Amino acid sequence: MNQGTLFLVPTPIGNLEDMTLRGIRILKESDMILAEDTRTSGILLKHFDIHVPMKSYHKFNEHEKVADLVKRIKEGENISLISDAGTPGISDPGFLLARECRRQGIDVICLPGATAFVPALVASGLPCERFVFEGFLPVKKGRATRLSQLKDDPRTIVIYESPKRLNRTLSDLKEYFGEGRNAAVCREISKIHETYHTDTLENLCSYFTANQAKGEIVIIVEGNNSRNSIKEDNKTFHK
């Protein structure tokens, strides 16, 4: 018996037109779809006329489900994993299952598709040739340490944040990176109310203190240009 394949299928982060034709076909041809929230994904599958059994797969049950899912794939089932929005594994469940499938010699195929940070980064107007993706910063333990590590990084920094914690995060970034560091707050990517606010961290703090943000948020922060300048000066000095 030939073993099956694990497919990681991106789903729209806001605009249903961002669902790819290949993604729709793979989901329709799957034996099972793993969904972070079956109610949310059920709306998507109904929209695209996909009638495939779904099972829940989320951060609270992924450890206990991996072994059984790997067994089913090895027995010939093709299983697709989707998250509520975007690409599975990017600040969403998926890593544990993909890793175990690779360890067991199972093919893992991730389709290209929707994710929030790439369009936010490219459209922000900040340098995007080199960047570091941080996802969500630690809420408590390890937060100060991580910010201290990032403050001198010359690469553009990408951070996910919730509206409720945006003001705190902008304030922390201003404290560690400096009030004059340029940044962008990108909101509701691909949705009707998509907006970009690009300014210094000081001005962004002031703006979002006065204007409560809503929706999904990506923060883009420029790297430490002073470090780049020092490196360039040293290169010149040693020539």
The radius of gyration computed from the CA coordinates of the chain, to the nearest angstrom, equals 21
Model confidence band, residue 233 (pLDDT cutoffs 50, 70, 90): very low
3-state SS class at 200: strand
166-177 vs 143-150: helix crossing angle, rounded to 10: 50
- Give residue-wise pLDDT tens across range 17-29: 999 999 999 999 9
Mean pLDDT score across all residues of the chain: 92
Is the model's pLDDT at 231 over the cut of 70?
no
Instruction: Please give the helix or strand (H or E) that residue 195 lies within, else none.
Output: strand 195-200
pTM over 0.85: yes
Q: Which amino acid is at 106?
A: I
Laid out side by side, the sheet with 5-8 consists of 54-56, 32-35, 79-82, 5-8, 107-110
The answer to whether 20 and 110 are in contact (CB under 8 A) is no
The average pLDDT across 205-231 equals 84
Answer positive or negative: Cα dihedral of 68, 74, 77, 79: positive
State yes or no: pLDDT of 189 exceeds 70: yes
Structure tokens at 156: 């553009």
CB 76 within 8 A of CB 3: yes
pLDDT of 203 reads: 98
What confidence tens digit (pLDDT) does each residue in 40-84 have? 999 999 999 999 999 999 888 888 899 999 999 999 999 999 999
Residue 103 CA to residue 187 CA, distance in Å, equals 38
How far apart are the C-alpha atoms of 9 and 94, rounded to whole Å? Answer: 11
**pLDDT number for residue 60:** 86
If pLDDT is split at 50, 70 and 90, which confidence band does 226 have? low
Of 34-48, 54-68, 131-145, 181-195, least confident by mean pLDDT is: 54-68
